[in-house]
Structure 1
Amino acid sequence: MIRLNEETPLDVLNEVKRGDLVTDTFSKTGLVESVEIMDDGLYRTYEFTLVTGRIIKVKK
């Protein structure tokens, strides 16, 4: 299981793929359905959509 939060290293965030088991260590745990990476020039936001429909967002 991969823990996703602001302390997660960038190389780990970049390697998360569909089907990986992830958690936000609080209330969201599940398999990754899709990954979206948005870069606004200042921050990179990772949005992990789980098969349950919940979304984990990590801003680095």
Structure 2
Amino acid sequence: MKRLNSDTTTEELQDVKKGDLVTDTFSKTGLVESIEITDDALYRTYEFHLVTGRVITVKK
């Protein structure tokens, strides 16, 4: 299981793929259904959509 939060390195975030078991260490845990990465001038935002319908969002 991979822990996803603001302390997670960019390399670890890039390594997450569909089907991985992830958690945000609070209440969101599940398999990754899809990943969206958006990049604006200040932050790169990773949105991990889980099969449970929840979304884990990490800004780096």
Which TM-score band applies after superposition, normalised by the shorter structure? over 0.9
Name the Cα RMSD after superposition: 0.3
Percent of paired sites with the same residue: 73
Q: TM-score, structure 2 length as denominator?
A: 0.98
Specify the alignment match of 1:53 in structure 2: 53
Partners of 2:59 and 2:9 lie apart in 1 by 11
Matched length: 60
CA distance in 2, matches of 1:10, 1:46: 10
Can you give the 5+ residue segments of structure 2 that lack an aligned partner in the other structure?
none
Superposed structure 1 runs of 4+ greater than 2 Å apart: none
Give the TM-score, by structure 1 length: 0.98
- Per-residue CA distance 1:1-59 (angstroms, 9 max, x = gap): 00000000000000100000000000000000000000002100000000001000000
**Distance of 1:42 and 1:49 partners within structure 2:** 22
The DSSP-based 3-state class of the residue aligned with 2:45 is strand
